[in-house]
A = this chain, B = another copy of it.
Amino acid sequence: MRIAELSRRTGVPVPTIKFYLREGLLPAGELTSPNQARYGDVHLHRLRLVRALVEVGGLSIAAVRDVLGALDDPDKSLHKAMGTAEAAVMAADATSDDEVARAQAREFAERQGWRCHPESDAFQSLVAVLATAREVGLDSFPGQLDGYAHAALGLARQDLAYALTAPTKDAAMEIVVVGSVLGDKALAAVRRLARRELSQRLDRGERSGQETDPDC
């Protein structure tokens, strides 16, 4: 396909595609004349991935280059490349040097039998959350994490199964990145809807005989 069709099928404007080509984020097309090139499915998948990394993941061009480098490295498994992408997208937004919170996070991971290195960004985020809970005196909060782990493992299984339905490595990576960023937001929204629904059911039980409240 021509660059115009590549643009139409991905929604990425032609000047942006040319910029990605110059930056090496997209491999050159096959030249069919000195100033025309042809692009294939490889370009389509890669362009969708780049778009997801930039627009949904909010990555810089340099970070996108790192992620693509990991993906194209034959010594790295898809799992490793996914880890690079997730780390880039989900850089720790907060850290804490609260040693009690760190110990709580470590005990939690050990209780689950999770052996991941405790210096990952996700682990740091968890330490920061536990430190905030401690600061505001919600000492019982760490006890909630085991239930979160149970739910999270179910979701992780679903996430991986979903990524593995993708036809190519690029497409799998796109699902991981988009699913990771959008998935967190979707889960927060769905969790709130679920809580309102459940809470409303209890409320109806408390005050049975009343009309259902359309505002919940």
Q: Could you tell me which A residues sit within 8 Å of B by CB distance? A: 10-11, 48, 51-52, 55-56, 77, 79-80, 82-83, 86, 90, 109, 112, 114-117, 120-123, 125-126, 128-130, 132-133, 135-138, 140-141, 144-145, 147-160, 162, 165, 174-175, 178-180, 182-200, 202-203, 206-207, 212, 214-216
Please determine whether B141 and A189 come into contact, CB atoms closer than 8 angstroms: no
Jot down 6 A-B pairs with beta carbons below 8 A, ordered by A: A10-B137, A56-B132, A138-B182, A148-B186, A151-B187, A156-B195
Q: Which residue of B lies closest to A89 (CB)?
A: B192
Which residues of B lie under 8 Å from residue A212 when comparing CB positions?
Answer: 115
| Complex Cα gap A197–B123 (Å) | 12
Known: A141-B178, A178-B133. A152 touches B191 (CB 8 A): yes
A89 to chain B, nearest CB (A): 10
Please determine whether B77 and A138 come into contact, CB atoms closer than 8 angstroms: no
Please determine whether A136 and B193 come into contact, CB atoms closer than 8 angstroms: no
Known: A83-B196, A212-B115. A152 touches B203 (CB 8 A): no
| Complex Cα gap A19–B214 (Å) | 38
A128 to chain B, nearest CB (A): 8
Please determine whether B188 and A136 come into contact, CB atoms closer than 8 angstroms: no
| Complex Cα gap A117–B133 (Å) | 31
Known: A117-B214, A132-B56. A141 touches B198 (CB 8 A): no
Q: Which residue of B lies closest to A124 (CB)?
A: B189
Which residues of B lie under 8 Å from residue A77 when comparing CB positions?
Answer: 203, 206-207
Please determine whether B207 and A115 come into contact, CB atoms closer than 8 angstroms: no
A157 to chain B, nearest CB (A): 6
A135 to chain B, nearest CB (A): 7
Known: A158-B144, A202-B79. A133 touches B182 (CB 8 A): yes
